Structure 1
Amino acid sequence: MNVSNKIGVLLVNQGTPDSPSVPHVRKYLREFLMDERVIDLPFLKRWPLVNLLIAPFRAPKSAKLYQQVWTNEGSPLKVYGYRSAQLLQDSLGKDYVVKLAMRYQNPSVAQALAELKKAGVTELVIVPLYPQYASATTGSVYQKFMELLQDWPVVPPLRLVPQFWEHPQFVQAFAKIGRKHLQQQNYDHVVFTYHGLPERQLHKDEPFKSCTEANCQHTLHAGNQNCYRAQCYATSRAIALQLGIAEENYTVCFQSRLGKEPWLQPYTEDVVQQLAARGIKNVLAFAPSFVADCLETTIEVGVEYKELFEEHGGEHWQLAESLNDDATWISCLHALVQPHPSTADALKAA
């Protein structure tokens, strides 16, 4: 490599308020939910829904929850993001410049790109930190990045890293965490819970009109390879295979729905109650759509579903922590940024 060349690496996660205060949470919610890929309604319908209904009423409740996860260093999502970026920088070396950005709020994508430009990078690698592809997540990052890049007089060579749920080291990282918990406790059942999406956002540009028609629950193929639900089920199968968990001993479900329209099912809250009703006493829960612990993992999965499970007769609900700054996860990021023949072969075989 020419010593004058530097590759800029941008790690992009969802985002977090600047503080757990109500004004900052409201500001975050407004930016997040006004994204046309998140709430895919026309602007004139989306604006009053977000700014007059959702953000004003949801912000105080969400602020209380953020206060529960906030640390002395700040939001866990951002704290682990900075740690991962620094560890990846150390792993990649001086020919790379690694920056963290949040799709919503700070550090912004615009700010991170400006820092990379100032550092004189000659290439760019964009890594949305979403294991499974969705228009509202990875697609939104791509769109924002392309909008900002239009202002660059010289657009450098770039590479957009797609979904990485199938990467061997991603699967191994979650399996390692799960194996630790399985060695400490006997579990009757395992739950894989993923962030939800409205049903209408799936299969928009694919040959199949529904996940039932595409058989997304059981197989991933050319016709549904970009379907979020299909990728979630495939992620669960891959982790379960590593851990030796039989199909009948785990359930895939979806959390965090908003509004009354149909979202991806089964809903996690329903699954939690059904498992308890079946006499299941001990559950290990994974949240493999998140690479860092945050409100949706620590509070929603780790606390709220635990309380729901116990209310309905369950005895032990354990959240398997996210990847955070795990060494295997950092190795996965390194391989995604700097692919080499063995990694490429592994991806083809996955």
Structure 2
Amino acid sequence: MSQAKTGILLANLGTPDAPTPAAVKRYLRQFLSDRRVVDTPRLLWWPLLRGVILPIRSPRVAKLYQSVWMEEGSPLMVYSRRQEKALAARLGPDVPVALGMSYGSPSLESAVKALMAQDVTHIVVLPLYPQYSCSTVAAVWDELGRIFTKTRFMPSLSFIRDYATNEDYIAALANSVRRSFAEHGEPDLLLLSYHGIPQRYADEGDDYPQRCRDTTRELVSALGLPPEKVMMTFQSRFGREPWLTPYTDETLKMLGEKGVKHIQVMSPGFAADCLETLEEIAVQNREFFLEAGGEKYQYIPALNDNDDHITMMVNLTQPYR
């Protein structure tokens, strides 16, 4: 009998292949067609998506991507590839690592095939979403199920649901905050901005808001900050139905109007910097705060390929290897 061999599958959301309207349209079509992301009845959603949202949104979003695009490509892809390479270097050749995206390329299926081609018999799936949500982590699970309906051989799977309170993750976040405070001074307020989901998803059982609160509680404890020095908000809402509140953009406007002068913002739910952090948080929301009367605003980067982030991945997957 052949010896068991473990591989690591890093999963993230995905990104357009290029900062062009055509590439963004392809990506958004796939992303917004997933029922985990938008569960509106298809008879209502398809005409709206194809006839209104994609034609209008794609050129606008493409311009935003152009503003953050790196020489090597999309920020999310650049940092995800660096994470993949760094983790593979730490684990060595006996534990292959592959990167797959729920939408766009490289696909989750291509990542599974790459691991299987190296005779992997056990896959540890690490979705790079620290806080579980049905719209992100569960979408990875769904896609893996679809992938393995097409195969005769199926490896054993270990699926890491999330790591919202993992000690190494919290320590890496705390170190990042401390570095920012040391460089820019301690702010009047540390704002922790998580990606939002429709409030209805939470009402129907998604425990994402609680997992965000869990991360916030542990990070505040690790930093030793008084509760009044930290706020938790939700960003990136889409559509007309209510999303998780308080909203990041409205909160920053309110804080500027109330006389808060110095804010630093971190987005703990993003394992890699992307459009939502580099453009929405670092640029758009900065403008909201400063225009409302604020004076100093810093965005604290995602953990990306920081050494302590890679250490977290090594330690998080270790029990399954």
| Superposition TM-score, scaled by structure 1 size | 0.89
Separation of aligned partners in 2, 1:239 and 1:270: 23
Equivalent pairs: percent with the same residue?
39
Separation of aligned partners in 2, 1:189 and 1:313: 15
Q: How far is the alpha carbon of 1:94 from its aligned partner?
A: 2.2
Which residue number in structure 1 is paired with residue 22 of structure 2? Answer: 23
Over the aligned positions, Cα root-mean-square deviation in angstroms equals 1.4
SS of the residue aligned with 1:67? helix
1:274 aligned to which of 230, 254, 274: 254
Which residue number in structure 2 is paired with residue 93 of structure 1? Answer: 92
Which residue number in structure 2 is paired with residue 40 of structure 1? Answer: 39
Q: Alpha-carbon deviations, 1:185-215, whole Å to 9, x = none?
A: 131011010111111111424xxxxxxxxxx
Q: Alpha-carbon deviations, 1:292-337, whole Å to 9, x = none?
A: 1110001111010101101010001100000000111101111121
Q: Alpha-carbon deviations, 1:86-135, whole Å to 9, x = none?
A: 11111112221100111100001111111111111111111111000110
Q: Quick check: 1:254 aligned with 2:253? A: no
2:282 aligned to which of 290, 302, 313: 302
Where do 1:4-23 residues align within 5 Å? 4-23=3-22
Which stretch shifts more, 52-61 or 96-105?
52-61
Q: How far is the alpha carbon of 1:339 from its aligned partner?
A: 2.1
Whether the aligned pair in 2 keeps the contact of 1:134 and 1:227 (CA below 8 Å) is yes
Separation of aligned partners in 2, 1:337 and 1:56: 42
2:220 aligned to which of 224, 228, 240: 240
Unmatched tracts of structure 1, length 5 or more: 206-225, 341-350
Q: Which runs of 4+ in 1 moved over 4 A?
A: none
Whether the aligned pair in 2 keeps the contact of 1:194 and 1:253 (CA below 8 Å) is yes
Unmatched tracts of structure 2, length 5 or more: none
SS of the residue aligned with 2:265? strand
Whether the aligned pair in 2 keeps the contact of 1:3 and 1:95 (CA below 8 Å) is no
Separation of aligned partners in 1, 2:197 and 2:96: 33
Q: Quick check: 1:292 aligned with 2:291? A: no
Which residue number in structure 1 is paired with residue 111 of structure 2? Answer: 112
Q: How far is the alpha carbon of 1:245 from its aligned partner?
A: 1.4
SS of the residue aligned with 1:136? coil
2:191 partner amino acid: V
- In 2 relative to 1, CA 41–94 (structure 1 residues): closer, same or farther, beyond 3 Å? same
Q: Alpha-carbon deviations, 1:263-300, whole Å to 9, x = none?
A: 10011111101111221000010101101111000111
| Superposition TM-score, scaled by structure 2 size | 0.96
Q: How far is the alpha carbon of 1:41 from its aligned partner?
A: 1.4
SS of the residue aligned with 1:337? helix
SS of the residue aligned with 1:104? coil
Separation of aligned partners in 2, 1:233 and 1:286: 14
Separation of aligned partners in 2, 1:247 and 1:55: 42
Separation of aligned partners in 1, 2:319 and 2:6: 13
